Structure 1
């Protein structure tokens, strides 16, 4: 699927591709709200093609309502963002994941 695919359609497809009868029982995608206000996203990378790749922390701070922080830690993609930045945060994940799938050379975990 290309970047022209609607974002939620792409995420749903990515999730469905991970579901193999086992993965979905242990791992998944979680989107929740923050009280400051904003959103938090956690996408499990364990047992996916992304599990050994690193998304270095990126902090974009435009204002108290307009911000996006993304990173990977412990085989999980994390995002936290302002109340109007959920699509931007998910787009960061899509861009990172599709870059890896296309065979680009992202940073990988040492060891």
Structure 2
């Protein structure tokens, strides 16, 4: 996934986008991850999606939304890879359904 996100980022760098939009990956204090990726001024078209959360326990959760071409996702400390996979699938399909997200989460537990 790291190679894929690096390639997507590089493909969208145009001298401007990376200065004002880009990708932000941060840690949360609960602990967990927050990822924000701005689709504005990229070649990627996405559909808006309201916040969807998948919470199995206090330490096993993930959620994401796409509002105004901004992908925002958070998850527990073991969900960074799943967040990036969700982002990848969204870039390929404009959106994804809940069954696919659940499958990604379950694969990550293995």
Instruction: Mark yes or no: TM-score above 0.5.
Output: yes
Structure 1 residue ranges (4+ consecutive) displaced by more than 3 angstroms after TM superposition: none
Using the TM superposition, give the Cα deviation of residue 89 of structure 1 relative to its aligned residue in structure 2, in angstroms. 1.0
Using the TM superposition, give the Cα deviation of residue 86 of structure 1 relative to its aligned residue in structure 2, in angstroms. 0.8
Q: How many residues align?
A: 96
Using the TM superposition, give the Cα deviation of residue 49 of structure 1 relative to its aligned residue in structure 2, in angstroms. 2.8
Using the TM superposition, give the Cα deviation of residue 26 of structure 1 relative to its aligned residue in structure 2, in angstroms. 1.2
Say whether 1:40 aligns with 2:31.
Answer: no
Which of 53, 61, 81 is the matching residue for 1:67?
A: 61
Cα-Cα RMSD: 1.8
The residue that corresponds to 2:106 in the other structure is none
**Structure whose residues are more often strand by fraction:** 2
**Structure whose residues are more often helix by fraction:** 2
Using the TM superposition, give the Cα deviation of residue 51 of structure 1 relative to its aligned residue in structure 2, in angstroms. 5.3
In the alignment, structure 2 segments of 5+ residues that lack a partner are 97-110
